[in-house]
Amino acid sequence: MSDIALETKQLFKQFGALRVTNNVSIALSRGARHALIGPNGAGKSTLVGLLFGTIKPNAGTVSLFGEDITRASPATRTKLGLVRTFQITSLFARLTVLENLYLAVSEQRRESFDLLRPAARRPETLAKAEALLVEFRLTEFANRDVSVLAYGQQRLVEIALALALQPKVLLFDEPAAGIPSGETRLLTDAIERLPEDITILMIEHDMALVRRFAREATVLVQGAVVASGPVAEIMASQEVRDVYLGNAAARSAHEGRPNA
């Protein structure tokens, strides 16, 4: 199996005349902790859609552990070990935390075709769901509907759901979005406890979280990679500072280019 977990080569996506992903080439080694950063409208979420298969590229390739998955469906990519979370939580709000986790474990174990079977008759599935409750410190919320949880706790449930699918590569799309500052520590602690062998790509605007989480970062501006390397070097880059001070956006507006 390849030492490169996730790789894109010259990935290109265009909507009409607008180039949203402009020949992006990135490579994440096995066990990487990598951040994808850039200003609003840089094309980060589009890139994640291309990686996960919900958006199809005009050109270029996506590979998972050396296997070309460019045309594979999201369901196939998930089965191969590529899992993602979303900017907005995508949970079954009217089910309990334990029921959400039980369904995710059932899906991973290919049992979702028989969801009416009592949980007591699936002791291994139930045990794995309960183990996730413990791992993410959600035991006290096990029998509460997800809808009544604080937003930060809902994010923890979503990460637990992702882990239930046994990912090899995990895509985090702005995990801290919308979380009150007082709940952020719950999230960061959970992310830091994730197994080291899982390769993680995180899209995030919170630079404090990026510094704490990532070892390497890639900066995307107007759909193109402008910098990539160790986080300390990226944060010290004047070009990156200019991007976040809005200089790049100001130049685009002045030149009449869309901020993709």
The pLDDT, as a whole number, for residue 40 is 84
Q: Specify whether the CB–CB gap between 61 and 111 falls below 8 A.
A: no
Give the pLDDT band (50/70/90) at residue 249. very low
126-200-171-176 Cα dihedral, nearest 10 degrees: 90
The pLDDT, as a whole number, for residue 112 is 55
The pLDDT, as a whole number, for residue 169 is 97
pLDDT digits (tens, 9 = 90+) for 21-44: 999 999 999 999 999 998 888 899
pLDDT digits (tens, 9 = 90+) for 147-201: 898 888 888 888 898 888 889 999 998 887 777 777 778 788 888 889 999 999 9
Give the pLDDT band (50/70/90) at residue 71. very high
pLDDT digits (tens, 9 = 90+) for 89-99: 567 778 899 99
18-204-178-73 Cα dihedral, nearest 10 degrees: 60
**258 or 235, higher pLDDT:** 235
Q: Specify whether the CB–CB gap between 197 and 5 falls below 8 A.
A: no
**153 or 140, higher pLDDT:** 140
What pairs with residue 61 in β-bridges? 9
The pLDDT, as a whole number, for residue 117 is 52
User: Which amino acid type is present at position 242?
Assistant: D
Give every CB contact of residue 182 below 8 A, 6+ residues apart in sequence.
none
pLDDT digits (tens, 9 = 90+) for 232-248: 999 888 888 887 766 54
In the predicted structure, residue 107 carries a pLDDT above the cut 50: yes
Average pLDDT estimate for 203-217 = 88
**180 or 146, higher pLDDT:** 146
The pLDDT, as a whole number, for residue 243 is 75
Rounded distance, CA 224 to CA 207, Å? 20
Give every CB contact of residue 30 below 8 A, 6+ residues apart in sequence.
3, 4, 5, 197, 199
The pLDDT, as a whole number, for residue 174 is 83
User: Which amino acid type is present at position 250?
Assistant: A
Query: CATH number for the 1-81+168-260 domain, one of 1.10.1270.20, 3.10.20.30, 3.40.190.10, 3.40.50.300?
Result: 3.40.50.300
What is the DSSP secondary-structure string of 52-94? Answer: HTSS--SEEEEEETTEE-TT--HHHHHHHTEEE--SS----TT
Other beta carbons within 10 Å of 25: 14
Within a 13 Å sphere around the CA of 172, how many CA atoms are in the beta-carbon half?
A: 34
Q: Specify whether the CB–CB gap between 175 and 155 falls below 8 A.
A: yes
In the chain, where are the structural domains located? 1-81+168-260, 92-166
